[in-house]
Structure 1
Amino acid sequence: MKKIRLLTIDDDKFIRHLVLKTLRSQYSSFEVMEADNGRRGQAMLQRHSFDLVLCDWEMPEMNGLELLKWVRSEENLKDQPFILVTSLDSKDNVVQAVEAGVDDYIAKPFTPEQLFNKVMKQLIKSGRLTQEEAASLVRKERIAASGGAEVLAASKAPANKASKRQANSLKALLMQGEARAPAALRDLDRREALVLVKRSEVLPEIGSPVQLGLMTTDEDPPQKLSLKGYVASLQLAERNPNTDNLFVRVHFLKQDTETTEAFTQLLNSQA
């Protein structure tokens, strides 16, 4: 099978890792190169050829839309297959991306299945793979299948870093699909949260998209917000494989401006 080279551009290391793990688990001949902002991605596109570019929209130095416009203006890159990865899913953003010449886009949070399907669709559409080659791919390992194996029995519970005020004045809810589980907050900062949930109420997998709902309990009216994220790690709360208690570390994605401002205000109020 031919070698396929992809470039993933995202300032979030966790997302880059998720893309790499998803694609290589499906097809060992994927070669995935990484850049952590648009400017570095631009430099790599000038030095290397790629079968597909997966690029975040919101990045420092040069955002994804700016990079896409540059790609389409370059004679040797104007036909480069390009997918925008974004949490900006308003009609205006979609129109901007289409007008700039995007081949496809995928909204955060996405599942490994959604990512792989988008990638394969563009590789076939651009002629990098034939339908027959795509159909013959042997899927070595699914992230969804490996997630359960990555739940480790804890020798001790993760350190509780949340302040007493934070723990007492915030209620948390872990949401995955239709599942809703009350969550005991153990740690919270701008990048991630650690919560304790019941496995009988929700059982997420490594890499799966989730939302974390937060509500203050010491204000009237209470502050409420919902943060998009991915499951970064899972750990049993006790050295007992039958325990119902599970620690879930949620890595936050970029939020919209309103949510970001509300989250900053909430964190400041809990300091």
Structure 2
Amino acid sequence: MTEPSTIYPSAEPKAVNALLLDDDEFDRRRICRMSDGLGLPITMHSVPTLETMEQSMQEHAYDLVLVDYRLADGDGFSALDIVQASSKNRNAATIMISGNGQIELAVAALKAGCSDFLPKQDISPESLRSAILQALENRVQQFDPTMLKREAEHALISALRDDSFRQSLRPTIMAAMSEAAQSIAREKKQEKHAHLKGYLMEFTKDDDFCFQTGPLRKA
């Protein structure tokens, strides 16, 4: 069962479940200790390798993932790929940290979906707290109801354009339309409604069985 994420807005604040990937034990301990003093309801877990990160993500859902760029078994972008491939964690907020503060690397991290990039030498309680809050805020905004509705509509329209999906819906839609025809006939006290059934049969051809995805035009 997928564990519920805690980044969604709720009436009561919940603890933020975070994961830190860094192959340097000193840096892992330092960042974890720093996170304990931020005054935030955050629980920071840490792993040293991409393999242990992937294992942890198979078992747990995280709201926030911090990844080091330079790793013994890969790099931070490989870590981001693991996050995206995880059904439990693909919606987690991400922050990249690195001892290399090159502008090009920071830009690449942001383009890859990270909310922030923190050079290790500049990490302080203030900068870490600010980055965490901004990352979580950005993630919450992505789940705005209006945006979710718009994405759902786009997904539905894409599905309806798929021939196999449309054909799978045909029996359900035909049954619903037949029931509607019978209901109309009963309301109008008509014994027969063959003309309505005949009209429905016009939808048997594939080129007639389509969906209007734009505004209806008046005849």
TM-score normalised per structure 1: 0.43
| Counterpart-to-counterpart distance in 1, 2:111 and 2:85 | 13
| Residue 125 (structure 1) aligned to one of 124, 138, 147 | 138
Unaligned runs of at least 5 residues, structure 2:
1-12, 142-219
Q: What is the 5 A alignment of 1:156-171? A: none
AA at the equivalent of 2:128: L
CA distance in 2, matches of 1:82, 1:28: 17
**Structure in which a larger fraction of residues adopt strand:** 1
Let me know the Cα RMSD of the aligned residues. 2.1
1:112 aligns with 2:120: no
- Which residue of 2 is the match for residue 88 of structure 1? 100
With over 3 angstroms needed to count, the CA separation of the structure-2 counterparts of 1:74 and 1:44, relative to structure 1, is closer
Partner amino acid for 1:122? A
- Asked whether the 8 Å contact 1:58–1:64 carries over to 2, the reply is yes
2: CA distance between counterparts of 1:26 and 1:94? 24
Q: Find the aligned partners of 2:84 and 2:40 in 1 and give their Cα distance.
A: 30
**Whole-angstrom CA distance in 2 between matches of 1:25 and 1:114:** 13
User: Contact conserved, 1:22 with 1:116, CA < 8 A, in 2?
Assistant: no
Structure number with higher helix proportion: 2
Give 1:85 deviation, angstroms.
Answer: 0.5
Matched ranges for 1:188-227 at <5 A: none
* Equivalent position amino acid for 1:38 in 2: L
SS at match of 1:40: helix
Q: Does the CA-based 8 Å contact 2:14-2:41 persist in structure 1?
A: yes
Query: What's the offset of the Cα at 1:94?
Result: 2.5
Q: Is residue 57 of structure 1 aligned with residue 62 of structure 2?
A: no
Task: Note if 1:66 corresponds to 2:101.
Answer: no
Q: Which amino acid aligns with 1:117?
A: S
Cα shift readout 1:98-124 (whole Å, capped 9, x = no counterpart): 332222111121222111111111122
1:69-91 per-residue CA deviation (whole Å, 9 max, x = no partner) reads 23234455332211000122223
- Aligned identity (percent) is 22
In 2, are the aligned partners of 1:38 and 1:64 still within 8 Å (CA)?
no
| Equivalence for 1:16 | 28
How far apart, CA to CA, are the structure 2 residues paired with 1:11 and 1:108? 13
Q: Which has the larger radius of gyration?
A: 2
Q: Secondary structure at the match of 2:101?
A: coil
Larger mean CA deviation between 48-57 and 97-106 belongs to: 97-106
Q: Match of 2:71, SS? A: coil
